Homo-oligomer: A and B are copies of this chain.
Amino acid sequence: MSVAELFHVPAKFELKDADASRKLIGSSTGQKSEDKQADKLQTTALAEQISGLQEVFAANHDHKLLVILQGMDTSGKDGTVKSVFGQLHPLGARTVAFKAPSQAEKDRDFLWRVHKEVPGKGEIVIFNRSHYEDVLISKVHGWIDDTECERRYVHIRDFERMLVETGTIVLKFFLHISNAEQKQRLEERLADPDKHWKFDMQDLAERVHWEAYQRAYERALTATDTREAPWYVVPSDSKTQRNLVIASIVDERLASLNLKYPPGNLEYSKLIVE
């Protein structure tokens, strides 16, 4: 069974705290710090492998890869970008973080700013947050009603299907942490002066809506998990497991393309002057 199949969101599912620390792959010696060390080594190896696959991916100049990271505050989206995609060649890879929309963005459909940033041929783009915020935060805060939310699911499905049919691979990861883990991570930020800059009062305000967010995620993931653009639910209470799972799925998907370096045109190679 592929790692992708192991973590593919089920047709019907509930987000349970317990599942945030579920361990399905990687070392299982039972020794926690040894487990982590093994996970890290495997992830580093995979990240290097992905970087190698990127070169042939770019050389082919054909497919496009879009990775979408979603998750509650502190779930580790930034950390994932660094650990899993940090080895990519910057010329062929970009990370785009979507924050609160600008006035020009608010004045247009919610897919506008997202479509602008999709990868070109041979490129890998990582979305740190995405158009899914528009069916999550907007839903939880009651800025849109259920009818509008359902309509946006359709817009998202149509949009992602179009991307896939025009040559984009779309991988969507939900970084699933438990309520207790988030509490601990927020406390860690407060305890460490070097992490104070990461602390945002807004995170506490959003934490109050924890349950509403879990329900909104369940509904959004179910409504937008498609054959073309699947959702993966990644247990993320352990950072090393989270990285290992995501790296494995990305590696699997890129490797499955079976890309070879294109032959190139060496007709004029003899013109190289000695």
A positions within 8 Å CB-CB of B: 61, 64, 104, 107-112, 115-116, 118-123, 151, 155, 158-159, 162-163, 165-168
**Contact indicator B116/A104 (Cβ below 8 Å):** no
* Cβ contacts A to B, 22 pairs, < 8 Å: A61-B107, A64-B107, A64-B108, A104-B120, A107-B120, A107-B121, A107-B122, A108-B118, A108-B119, A108-B120, A108-B121, A109-B162, A109-B168, A112-B115, A112-B116, A115-B115, A151-B165, A155-B162, A155-B166, A158-B159, A158-B162, A159-B162
| Chain A facing B: main interface SS | loop
A125 to B62, CA, bound (A): 32
A166 touches B110 (CB 8 A): yes
**A137 to B232, alpha carbons, bound, how many Å?**
40
Contact B115 A111 (CB under 8 A): yes
User: Within 8 Å CB of A107, what residues of B?
Assistant: 61, 64, 120-123
Whether the Cβ atoms of A109 and B158 lie closer than 8 Å is no
B residues less than 8 Å from A64 (CB atoms): 107-108
In the assembled complex, the CB of A73 is this many whole angstroms from the nearest CB of chain B, namely 28
Q: A155-B165, A165-B151, A165-B155 are in contact. Are A112 and B108 (CB under 8 A)?
A: no
Minimum CB–CB distance for A169 against chain B, Å: 13
Bound CA–CA A260/B95 (angstroms): 44
Known contacts A108-B166, A111-B162; 15 further A-B pairs (Cβ under 8 A): A61-B107, A64-B108, A104-B120, A107-B122, A108-B118, A109-B162, A109-B167, A112-B115, A112-B118, A115-B115, A151-B165, A155-B165, A155-B166, A158-B158, A159-B162
Tell me which residues across on chain B come within 8 A of A151, comparing CB atoms. 165
Which of the listed residues A61, A64, A123, A159 has the most CB atoms from chain B within 10 Å of its own CB?
A: A159
User: Which residues of the partner chain B approach A155 to less than 8 Å between Cβ atoms?
Assistant: 162, 165-166
CB contacts (< 8 Å) of A115 on chain B: these are 111-112, 115-116
**Min CB distance, A52 to chain B, in Å?**
22
Residues of B within 8 A of A120 (CB): 104, 107-108
